[in-house]
Structure 1
């Protein structure tokens, strides 16, 4: 009888984990960003990447990534206006866009959403135009500098992640 209880307990625990969904925390510049399924932390590569979360979503050929950037020093990474302008400039022409200022317990998070033909590729390299792509990016205050969080991918896939992304960038300030 005892030999049957252990496998049953393991099966029940596994089922509970699947139903509850995986949860985690990504720490960047002393802030704890909480995330849940379908997000999972993956290895970050590249300069100034402080963390990367990936999600597999219907409508995307590959997992989409929310990349957390942190730049050293006061004002590292530039001011809000310069970053918003740069993000919108990553699209061909003028994208359909929206800017929100979110109250996070006295801190202001700037959230930008843009949709159009996105020029995908490294900052100084060749770009691949991606039609009907959406970018959601946030500027999160963190001490003397900001944390920049950027998510891009097919419009329909990003639409499925938008509310969770917003919740994630607000999570360090939730009480």
Structure 2
């Protein structure tokens, strides 16, 4: 009996340790459902398509147009710009609204930004429903002055402009500037954008 009691006393600590090594019983309660991640914040009224995404349709005042999918939207640089895009690595397009002055005044201003005798300018016009559209294509040495951060004359540049005349002294225009080597291959996308422009009637 003494031998049996001694054996029991010897085994007792081992049994206690074995019980401690057993995993804790798992709860039968179902795990809480995962909370979906919140969507990334976006800037109100500002759409950023992927670099090679689908075209984006924008409406600014009464003007609607479709920007090519490979135009990358950026935050507008100032309050006069309703929208702004990067084209390729080193060209840009912007939509300007609330522009005062006649179509002729603004077209002449664009031509004056091509500063050397090497410039070539072509302007065509067409009637849209509720507006007139002027299409400007210019090449040469470009100097945008303060509007381009006073970068000075930029040779071998291209200026593309689509000016929508909403009234005698009211315009919205889309203007692209950049190296000719960048914008010349993008002309098909630009022309498709120009052809997509539509203008709603003025409010009565």
Report the 3-state secondary structure (helix = DSSP H, G, I; strand = E; otherwise coil) of the residue aligned with 1:84.
helix
Residue 97 of structure 2 is aligned to residue 70 of structure 1? yes
Change (3 A) 1:173 1:126: closer
Report the 3-state secondary structure (helix = DSSP H, G, I; strand = E; otherwise coil) of the residue aligned with 2:146.
coil
Residue 141 of structure 2 is aligned to residue 109 of structure 1? no
Structure 2: gaps of 5 or more residues = 1-49, 200-204
The one of 173, 177, 181 aligned to 1:152: 177
In the alignment, the residues of structure 1 paired with residue 184 and residue 101 of structure 2 have an alpha-carbon distance, to the nearest angstrom, of: 28
Residue 115 of structure 2 is aligned to residue 92 of structure 1? yes
The structure with the largest strand share of the pair is 1
In the alignment, the residues of structure 1 paired with residue 105 and residue 161 of structure 2 have an alpha-carbon distance, to the nearest angstrom, of: 13
Rg comparison, structure with higher value: 2
Report the 3-state secondary structure (helix = DSSP H, G, I; strand = E; otherwise coil) of the residue aligned with 2:143.
strand
Report the 3-state secondary structure (helix = DSSP H, G, I; strand = E; otherwise coil) of the residue aligned with 2:116.
coil
Query: Any runs of at least 4 consecutive aligned residues in structure 1 with deviations exceeding 2 A, and if so which?
Result: 102-108, 123-127, 141-145
Contact 2:131 2:166 in 1 (8 A): no
Q: Deviations along 1:37-90, whole A, 9 cap, x unmatched?
A: 21132211213111112222xxxxx3421111011xxxx421111111111111
Contact 2:103 2:165 in 1 (8 A): no
Change (3 A) 1:104 1:123: same
Q: How many residues align?
A: 147
Cα displacement (A) at 1:124: 9.3
Change (3 A) 1:166 1:124: closer
Number of the residue aligned with 1:46: 78
RMSD (Å) for aligned C-alpha atoms: 2.6
Number of the residue aligned with 1:172: 197
Structure 1: gaps of 5 or more residues = 1-17, 57-61
The one of 140, 146, 163 aligned to 1:139: 163
Change (3 A) 1:127 1:54: closer
Contact 1:64 1:151 in 2 (8 A): yes
The one of 14, 22, 47 aligned to 2:54: 22
Contact 1:52 1:66 in 2 (8 A): yes
Change (3 A) 1:39 1:123: closer
